Amino acid sequence: MLNRSRRLRTSSAIRNLVAETDLRPRHIIQPYFVQPHPGTSEIASLPGIGRTGVEDTVRQVEQDLKLGLASVLLFGVPDAEAKSPDGASCCDHDGVIPQAVKALKKAFGSDLIVMTDVCLCGYTSHGHCGLVDDEGVVQNDKTLPFLAEMALRHAEAGADVAAPSDMMDGRVTAIRALLDQNGFTQTSILSYAIKHAGAYYGPFREAADSSPKFGDRKTYQMDPRNAREGLRDALLDIKEGADMLMVKPALPNLDLIWRLREAQLAPICAYHVSSEFSSVKAADRLGWVNGDQLMLEHLIAIRRAGADMIVTYAGREAVEKGWIS
Ligand code: PBG
Ligand code: ZN
């Protein structure tokens, strides 16, 4: 007897019946770049994504919520004048992120999950994710109080989830401790457990104006050649109190998403990062690929590998164009 696997592929109804992977709006986290001045400015390398002032952010989130996109990840894009060597303005009470979080929580309350990026690179004049000494060496332990206070500011404003992306050692412990001391025991931490150094974040750095002015991020972000290192760090993050784990970039790390899923550590979030998105958009513009289909296939692969949720610039588009519902 011929084993006919094709029987279960003969119509879209039967394919839907046996489909193993589900991608829904609830799995999507939509990223936002929030600027201090009003209005919206385009980001050339991230088509469809803008930098928005607080009011425009609230307006856009309102539309996203109607589409069923109920989670956002906010990145602050402060003016150049607000940057300094120690990035201290990341802890300002009236910084752009605390303002945006307050406005979003006032408008949408618990209907919206507000996640905030916690990292110094948008706020330091040198663009590194931590403090640096005179020789340009990153100062891990001196950075921790800044990260913790930044997270506290976001929590005070009403953020649901702090997402440290800096890759300093010990930051989950530092953030958890300061949040708890101040009564924010219910604010979650989504820790970047696996974040590889490399070329995948180019368009993001343009959008957030956060490129390092010298050197690179290889002394704190991970070596893409390593897998066990990431699994070890994920365990450490859980021990330190992380509630959820981030893996990025997503497609180059499907193996690690899968291994974390197998280890059943915590909810896993994959970040489909700026270059993963932009390269599809660019090739689509050249007419070389079907960008819509390719983008959806990216997101499905990430879910199939075991990600519970995906940060993606394609979220809004995916729902608007009916790729997912
Ligand atoms: C900041 C941060 C970066 C990204 C998320 N948080 C950039 C970086 O590490 O240089 C990248 C996201 C993307 O490329 O979409 N630490
Ligand atoms: Zn950073």
pLDDT digits (tens, 9 = 90+) for 138-197: 999 999 999 999 999 999 999 999 999 999 999 999 999 999 999 999 999 999 999 999
Cα Rg, the chain, nearest whole Å: 20
User: Ligand 1 pocket, 189 CB below 6 A?
Assistant: no
Closest by CA to 258, choosing from 302, 298, 192, is 302
Judge whether residue 264 has pLDDT over 90.
no
Report yes or no on 220 lying in a domain. Answer: yes
d(CA 112, CA 244): 18
Residue 50's pLDDT is 96
Mean pLDDT value across residues 257-262: 96
* Counted domains in the chain: 1
Range of the domain at 152: 22-320
d(CA 157, CA 231): 33
239 is catalytic: no
Report yes or no on 17 lying in a domain. Answer: no
Of all ligands present, the nearest one to the C-alpha of 45 is 1
- The residue whose CA is least distant from atom 1 of ligand 1 is 165
Judge whether residue 265 has pLDDT over 90.
no
* Angle (nearest 5°) at CA 253 between 252 and 259: 155
Judge whether residue 270 has pLDDT over 90.
yes
Residue 211's pLDDT is 94
Decide: 197 and 216 in contact? Cβ < 8 Å.
Answer: yes
User: Ligand 1 pocket, 129 CB below 6 A?
Assistant: yes
Judge whether residue 132 has pLDDT over 90.
yes
248 is catalytic: yes
Residue 141's pLDDT is 98
DSSP string, 4-48: -GGGGGSSHHHHHHH------GGGEEEEEEE-SSSSEEE-TTSTT
Residue 162's pLDDT is 98
Q: Where do we find the tokens 């280890």?
A: 263
Decide: 232 and 101 in contact? Cβ < 8 Å.
Answer: no
Average pLDDT over the chain reads 97
CATH code for position 137: 3.20.20.70
Report yes or no on 159 lying in a domain. Answer: yes
**Whether the model pTM is above 0.95:** yes
Q: How many CB atoms lie within 10 A of CB 229?
A: 13
Residue 32's pLDDT is 98
Report yes or no on 275 lying in a domain. Answer: yes
| Atom in ligand 1 nearest the alpha carbon of residue 195 | 9
